[in-house]
Amino acid sequence: MLQDIRDKSQGIVVKIIVGFIVVTFALFGVDALVQSFSSSDTVAEVDGVEISRTQMLQGAETQRRQLISMMGGQINPALLEDNLLQRRALDELVQRIVLENQSEKLGLGVSDDQVNAYLLQAEQFQTDGQFDQNKYLNFINSLGFTPLAFQQRIKQDVLIQQPRNAIAGSEFVLPYEVEAVSKLQSQERSFDYVSFSLADEAENISVTDDELKAYYDANKDSFKTPEQVKVDYVLISSEDFYNKVSVTDEELQQAYQASISDLAQEERSASHILFETSDRTDAEAQSLLDEVQAKLDAGESFAELAAQYSDDIGSKDDGGNLGYVEAGMIDTAFDDALFSMVKGDVRSVKTQFGYHLIQLNDITSAELPSFASLEDELKQGLMQDKARDALLTAHEDITDLAYASDKLDILAKEYGVDVKQSGYFGRDGGIDDVTSNASVIAAAFDVAVLEDNQNSDLIELSDDQVAVIHLNDHKLEAVQPFEETLEEVTSVVVQQKALASLKLKAEQAKDDATTIWSSVSDAQRGQDEMASLAFTMAHPEGAPVVDIKNLSNGDLALIRLTSVSMGNIEVPEDQQAAYERYLSQTQATLSTQGQEDFLTNSAVIER
């Protein structure tokens, strides 16, 4: 289908479509265009509210970006499959409509001012405590939102969160519940155990060819080679744009000034004597300052006077020493005085803290590197930034070239790069940086590449590199021949027979008087793996409880639980508070989830 579109892209039909788009934009704007294509394309309806395919696809793309942003290269490629993302996006849209309808029925609302206040106060959008417009825009762009769409999303989030908060806020925990958890946590158990080594047992196990063939025939689905693809691809990096960008002398000088601006901070070593005005009047503080000033003029030591008179308990015993101070660290009036003084000066000033006598002890400035010593580094940095910007600007052209052709040659030629070829890889990815990338894997197994034989969309590997892939070969899932699986089959059959043998030995050891048990007294919860297994067993009533348990390394353990005691039930207050928070949060989660399930089940939903 895509090829037909390309072949007919110069025909009269396309001209009519383009004409329709132009008129729609001119008369009604982009919203009308989107609605004209999506209004009848309904994928679900919730209590009369329609969900369009466009909304679902936008939600799926937002989820894709969020997953990649959170997990990066560690993400499981299966999480990025279109069908899964679309199904999750649709489920989320259904739930949001159900919850929004509930909020409206309750008469709840959210104003634009509330949304703006929330965004301005959100820490992820702040730099040094102030709202950062660039950080905000970069964040919403990374999720595929426009500012208006993101504000509407936040408005809906705040609206549907109100009933959740009400339900969660109504939860409470009774003292006996906290006490019950405390008792369970402080419980101690005494037990005996015998361990049986799977590795040792496996060494004594023999298997026949017939057993191996029988297991293979019964479990052929376990010995399939997964579906695999091989792809051709082009990598376009910011480095490919170095020959297309340049750096001017003016830009280098600006970068130099920016780089030394932080280093150029002057520091001044100062001492002070503070006369607070919280417990005395301004006149009293001024009088005391004049008295100390007179003593300084008479030759008395500044440090001794600070120890005697200063109200700054942090510095008075050190002669009033404040150490080295940068502008902006204390108070504007203090800075104005200190940074206008000459070394050795003493000056008085009033600040928000009271009256000060300030003595300037020393002045230091950072030794700044020369422009020549930084020039190469600055130029390289500017070139990298410009090349990265050039690559970003080229994204649209790369996308267009990838779409316009069924091969990668034109794209490779345009940007002076080679068409490369990967090895075979499955849905869990390959071993190199490209084929192990979750977005590349998802694209390789997408319908457009795998079935329609088209180039992929542009794939962002990093800020400095993008890729476009094309299918080279496709291998379907297939059962491996018995001969190729012999080693794996042998290992499985040996393990199974060894485990069965161990279980039989463990059963026999239960009532064998010669069994040698190891004993553990008063074990605490989570003490080790053996103790954790003992805590999964029922309380002994009259006689010990005996059971066979599996250890994480494959071994077996025969455990005989002999007693359970409450241990130390004196739980510290902070631990009790932690239990209470845990119970409260758990109950709130269950209550809100139960309410949402009830609302969803009560809604009329058509998909």
Give the tens place of pLDDT for each residue, 346-399. Answer: 999 999 889 999 999 998 876 788 889 989 999 999 999 999 999 999 999 999
Instruction: Kindly state the average pLDDT of the residues 221-243.
Output: 94
pLDDT of residue 82: 80
Q: Which range is least confidently modeled, 40-49, 133-142, 277-286?
A: 133-142
Instruction: Kindly state the average pLDDT of the residues 154-165.
Output: 89
pLDDT of residue 72: 64
Give the tens place of pLDDT for each residue, 522-557. Answer: 999 989 999 999 999 999 998 999 999 999 999 999
373 strand-pairing partners:
none
pLDDT class of 189 with cuts at 50, 70, 90: very high
Q: What percent of the chain has pLDDT over 70?
A: 92
pLDDT at 28 over 60: no
pLDDT of residue 264: 54
Which amino acid, 224? K
Beta carbons of 191 and 605 less than 8 angstroms apart: no
pLDDT of residue 122: 87
pLDDT of residue 37: 40
**Cα dist from 483 to 209, 395, 490, 492, whole Å:** 11, 49, 11, 15
pLDDT class of 73 with cuts at 50, 70, 90: low
End-to-end alpha carbon distance in the chain: 27
Find tokens 């110069």 and name the residue: 10
Report the 10 Å Cβ neighbour count for 327.
15
pLDDT at 444 over 60: yes
Find tokens 């025939």 and name the residue: 217
Q: Which helix (H) or strand (E) holds 458?
A: none
What does the alpha-carbon distance between residue 398 and residue 388 come to, in Å, rounded to a whole number?
14
**Cα dist from 570 to 182, 186, 351, whole Å:** 9, 9, 52
Instruction: Kindly state the average pLDDT of the residues 305-311.
Output: 93
Residue 377: partners with Cβ closer than 8 Å, 6 or more residues away = none
Instruction: Kindly state the average pLDDT of the residues 248-253.
Output: 92
For residue 386, give both structure tokens: 């410009």
pLDDT at 581 over 60: yes
pLDDT of residue 201: 94
Q: State whether residue 321 is helix, strand or coil.
A: strand
pLDDT class of 23 with cuts at 50, 70, 90: very low
Q: State whether residue 82 is helix, strand or coil.
A: helix
Q: Which helix (H) or strand (E) holds 308?
A: helix 302-309
pLDDT at 596 over 60: yes
Q: Which range is least confidently modeled, 199-203, 326-330, 441-445?
A: 326-330
Give the tens place of pLDDT for each residue, 108-147. Answer: 988 888 888 888 888 888 888 888 887 888 888 777 778 8
User: Bigger pLDDT: 262 or 101?
Assistant: 101
pLDDT class of 569 with cuts at 50, 70, 90: low
pLDDT of residue 262: 64
pLDDT of residue 568: 66
pLDDT of residue 80: 78
Q: Which range is least confidently modeled, 166-170, 303-307, 409-413, 453-457?
A: 166-170
pLDDT class of 8 with cuts at 50, 70, 90: very low
pLDDT of residue 27: 35
**Cα dist from 309 to 246, 292, 354, whole Å:** 63, 8, 13
Find tokens 């109504």 and name the residue: 170
For residue 271, give both structure tokens: 């001492």
What does the alpha-carbon distance between residue 174 and residue 331 come to, in Å, rounded to a whole number?
50
Taking alpha carbons only, the member of 529, 77, 474, 467 closest to residue 240 is 467
Give the tens place of pLDDT for each residue, 487-525. Answer: 999 999 999 999 999 999 999 999 899 999 999 999 999
pLDDT class of 566 with cuts at 50, 70, 90: confident
pLDDT at 483 over 90: yes
pLDDT of residue 15: 35
53 CB burial (10 A radius; 0-12, 13-18, 19+): middle
pLDDT at 22 over 70: no
Instruction: Kindly state the average pLDDT of the residues 58-68.
Output: 82
For residue 173, give both structure tokens: 């925990």
pLDDT, mean over the chain: 86
pLDDT at 47 over 70: yes
347 strand-pairing partners:
358
Q: State whether residue 246 is helix, strand or coil.
A: coil
Taking alpha carbons only, the member of 273, 277, 363 closest to residue 318 is 273
pLDDT of residue 410: 94
